[in-house]
Amino acid sequence: MTKTDITYMKRALALARKGIGRTAPNPAVGCVIAKDGKIIGEGWHKKAGGHHAEVHALEMAGNAAKGADVYVTLEPCCHTGKTPPCSDALIKAGVSRVVVAMRDPNPQVNGGGLRTLEQAGIKTVCGVMETEARAVNRGFIKQVTTGMPFVTYKCAMTLDGKIATVTGESRWISCEDSRKYVHRMRAHSDAVMVGVDTLIADNPQLTVRHVRGRNPLRIIVDTHLRTPLSVGILSGQMAKKTIIATTEANPRIHRRYLQSGASVLVCRQINAKVDLHDLWEQLGTLGIQSVLLEGGSRLAGDALKQGLI
C-alpha cells in the first residue's frame, strides 16, 4: 500500500458515498482507474440493476484501461446477478492491478472476486482504507451478515433529557441546522420508521426536504392497525412507499390499507406488541439495509431494550 493508493482510494470512497441510500439491496461502491499518475476512468453504482462502479469506470477509460491500476471500495463481484461479474470485465479490459478497500461479505463473493483476478494474473491488494469503506456500507454489511437492517435512532432532547413537553404539544426542540441534517439522514436511509402514536399525533410527511435526495420507504409500527386512512402518508403516490407493520392478521382489515397503495406486514406478537425482532428480519428479507428510527419513547425504548439499534 502506497500514498498513491490511499489518494485514489479516497476518491473512490467519495464516489461510493454518492450511492448511499440509493442502491439497496446492493452495496454502494466507487471505482477509480489510474494510469501514469492520472485518473482515466471513474464511476459509482447508482442503483440496483444498473451498471456497477467498475463498469462505469471501464467505459470511461476505454482501451486505456489496459495495464492500468484499479481502485474499488468493495471486492469486485464474481457471480452473475442482474449484471455480469465485474471481475470478468476487469480481466477482459487487461488491467494490471486491483486495489480493494474490503472483501465483500456476501457469501456469493467473499474472496472469490479476488481469487478470480489473481488466477488471471492480475495483482491484488486488499484492506486499503477498510474502516472508511465499512462505514459507507454498514447497512449492506449488517443485512448480508445478520439478515437485519442497520438501524439508527434519531431523537432531539433538552438539557434535562426530555424529548417533548409534558403535554406533548411541542413540535420542535431542535434547531434548523439539525432538522436539515435529519433530512440528509433520511435521504441516506432505505426507510424511516415511526410508531402509530407519533403518526396520529404529528401526521408527519417523512419525506426528504431541504436537501437533495430520494424519499425513503415509510414504516409504521401499528400493532392493532389504528392508522387513520386520512393521514398524509396514505394519500397519493407516496402511499405505495408505505409499509404498515402489525400483528393484526385479518385480511379484511388489511384491505382498506392495501386499496390506498400501502403494504401490510404481519409480525409475531410479543408482550401485546409487534415483535420488533421479527419485523427487523422481515425488513432484511425485503432487502432493506438501513432504517432511520424516528419513533417516540415507547418504540425507541423497546428497540433499545432488545439491542436492535
- Dihedral sign, CA of 218, 223, 225, 226? negative
Between CA 256 and CA 216 the distance in angstroms is 23
Within 45-80, strands assigned E span 69-72
Counting other chains too, the contacts that 163-167 makes at CB distance below 8 Å and 24 or more residues apart are 163/296, 163/297
Catalytic residues: 54
DSSP for 175-206? -HHHHHHHHHHHHT-SEEEEEHHHHHHH----
Residues 6+ apart with CB under 8 A from 73: 9, 12, 13, 15, 16, 28, 29, 30, 31, 53, 100, 101, 102, 133, 136, 137
Alpha helices in the chain (DSSP H): 3-17, 53-61, 86-93, 112-119, 130-136, 138-146, 176-187, 196-202, 251-260, 276-285, 297-305
- Measured CA distances, 294 to 25, 80, 198 (Å): 22, 37, 9
